[in-house]
Structure 1
Amino acid sequence: MEQSATIDIAAPPDRVWQVLSDVEHWPEWTDTVRWVRRVDDGALRTGSQAKISQPRIPTVDYVVTELEPGRSFTWVSGGGAALTTARHVLEPLPGGGTRVLLSVKQEGWLGSFVGRFYRGLTDRYLATEAAGLKARSEQA
């Protein structure tokens, strides 16, 4: 089960990437995240780990499995019966803007159940996060 949100942002990809990849500051621009604690220091990279607390969702650990600086990152949580994969993709738009795709995929027998259970909440969270990213990235 996969859910996604796409939004166009009137800011260059490097600005959007700066906001998006600074995961510890997400609570400043979206109320769907209480806190994020990185396990490692420095720029986000493949292998980076973070613990994330969100309202109405259990706190989880994520590991970055794919990262293309300035373009995208994917991180995963869980495994086996319940695997959550979250993708964050930036695409440059003509005129200097950025199109952002945020997606969450639930896999495994338990993941499928969790995905259906949280479907409405996930849709709302993705939309809220996209809107918050847009607002923060477009700030002067």
Structure 2
Amino acid sequence: MKTINQNAPVKCSKSILINARPDKVWAVMTNIDHWADWQSDISKPKLNGKLAPNSTFDWKTGGVRIHSTLHTVEPFSHFGWTGKTMGMFAIHNWTLIEKNGQIQVTVDESMEGFLASLLKKSFNKNLERDMQHWLDLLKKECEQSNQSK
């Protein structure tokens, strides 16, 4: 797995516990073409090929278009990508660990580039808020789907 840049001006790590099976969390998390169905900040997600390292996908979040490349696809444990937009470069990683019948999902991200350095304080604040929102929505989607079965 490609690690985030610990020296990047913008970085964040967040975790959440989800009451769902690992395969359910994995399926929701990795179904890129359907992210917008449950992740309200994302639009037009499109995986260009198979769910595999080096495949690319395009998406919009917060009105910004992002081109990303998968670097890690290890079923039920690790999922990650790099992304480029507006002169910035990001590394984004998800880790799943089973704990007492629940799944702990941890997300780590680093962002670097001119804008990330210039707007470090606000970007860090926004990234922390956005990551928590994404985790909350993932939990809701996985647990809601879990109850309907």
Q: Same fold (TM over 0.5)?
A: yes
CA RMSD of aligned residues (A): 1.9
Per the alignment, residue 103 of structure 2 pairs with 98
TM-score, scaled relative to structure 1: 0.85
Counterpart residue number, 1:30: 39
Structure 1 stretches of 4+ with a deviation exceeding 3 A read 108-117
Distance in structure 1 (CA, Å) of the matches to 2:67 and 2:119: 16
Instruction: Name the residue aligned to 1:75.
Output: 81
Structure 2 counterparts to residues 1-140 of structure 1, below 5 A: 1-40=10-49, 42=50, 44-56=51-63, 58-78=64-84, 82-94=88-100, 96-113=101-118, 115-138=120-143, 139=145, 140=148
Task: Check conservation: 1:32, 1:128, Cα contact below 8 A.
Answer: no
Q: Residues of 2 paired with 1:52 and 1:36: CA distance?
A: 4
Aligned residues: 135
Report the identity percentage.
Answer: 21
What SS does the aligned partner of 1:11 have? coil
- The normalised TM-score by structure 2 is 0.81
Q: Distance in 2 between matches of 1:4 and 1:24?
A: 24
CA contact (8 A) 2:107 2:131 kept: yes
Q: Tell me the alpha carbon deviations over residues 72-112 of structure 1, each in whole angstroms, 9 at most, x when there is no partner.
A: 11100239x63200111111111x21000112201345543
